[in-house]
């Protein structure tokens, strides 16, 4: 008997996780906390035409692009998905996602709902997580307290939030972001469970059975 059929989960293709949720729910904070905690969960850095907020760094938080540069990326097929959100374009660079998964690492995309649904068409095996606020009042407070938006932008973001929540039935898991550490624990628990899925093992067990029988 050979030992080439080791059940080594690390050598499998990585898991693609998508984290969505209304603006202000704390996706960015949760992702930042996850990045600090876990050395092997890779974060996909999106391209956007939105202006950087204070403290945001090009290449770390986003790749900040002009509209023309973004349109070129679309034309060259460089984006796995893209969407227009509250007047700006956002998109996920494709090659980085593919390379990360092929190297056996898990990747998390923090993106809005329309983009997530486009990813689902291409990665049906992806894991789709929707982050919820403890209440809508709390969500509005969080957006207002960020202090970066005009009253009109806040109104549009609350409207977008309602539209996003209406689409959340397409997601596999829901997490209430009542506490960042707990939200991270729940995402890690989902990730662990997804690594134990039968779909990841059955092809290998078939290979074992061929060797034994």
In angstroms, give the least distance from the CB of 165 to ligand 5GP. 12
Binding-site member from 14, 18, 65, 115 for ligand 5GP (CB under 6 A): 115
In angstroms, give the least distance from the CB of 86 to ligand 5GP. 7
126 binds ligand 5GP (CB under 6 A): no
Contact 130, 20 (CB under 8 A): yes
156 binds ligand 5GP (CB under 6 A): no
In angstroms, give the least distance from the CB of 58 to ligand 5GP. 13
100 binds ligand 5GP (CB under 6 A): no
49 binds ligand 5GP (CB under 6 A): no
133 binds ligand 5GP (CB under 6 A): no
Q: Which residues pair with 19 in a beta bridge?
A: 110, 129
Binding-site member from 110, 133, 165, 183 for ligand 5GP (CB under 6 A): 110
Main-chain dihedrals φ then ψ at residue 172, nearest 5 degrees:
-90, -30
**Binders of ligand 5GP: how many residues, by CB under 6 A?**
14
Pick 28 or 104: Cβ nearer ligand 5GP: 28
Binding-site member from 101, 107, 112, 186 for ligand 5GP (CB under 6 A): 112
163-192 residues in contact with ligand 5GP (CB under 6 A) are none
Q: Name the site residues for ligand 5GP (rule: CB under 6 A).
A: 23, 27, 46, 50, 81, 83, 85, 90-92, 110-112, 115
């Amino acid at each position: 008997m050979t030992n080439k059929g080791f059940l080594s989960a690390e050598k499998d293709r990585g898991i693609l996780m998508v984290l969505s949720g209304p603006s202000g729910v704390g996706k960015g904070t949760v992702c930042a906390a996850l990045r600090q905690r876990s050395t092997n969960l890779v974060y996909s850095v999106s391209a956007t035409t939105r202006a950087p907020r204070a403290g945001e760094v090009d290449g770390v938080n986003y790749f900040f692009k002009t509209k023309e540069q973004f349109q070129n990326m679309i034309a060259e097929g460089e984006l796995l998905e893209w969407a227009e959100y509250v007047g700006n374009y956002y998109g996920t660079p494709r090659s980085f996602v593919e390379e990360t998964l092929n190297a056996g690492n898990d990747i998390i995309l923090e993106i809005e709902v329309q983009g997530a649904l486009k990813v689902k068409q291409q990665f049906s095996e992806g894991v789709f997580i929707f982050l919820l606020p403890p209440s809508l009042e709390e969500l509005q407070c969080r957006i207002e307290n960020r202090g970066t938006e005009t009253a009109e932008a806040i109104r549009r973001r609350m409207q977008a939030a309602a539209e996003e929540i209406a689409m959340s039935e397409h997601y596999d898991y829901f997490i209430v972001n009542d506490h960042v550490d707990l939200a991270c624990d729940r995402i890690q628990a989902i990730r662990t469970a997804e690594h134990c899925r039968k779909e990841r093992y059955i092809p290998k067990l078939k290979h074992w059975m061929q060797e034994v029988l």
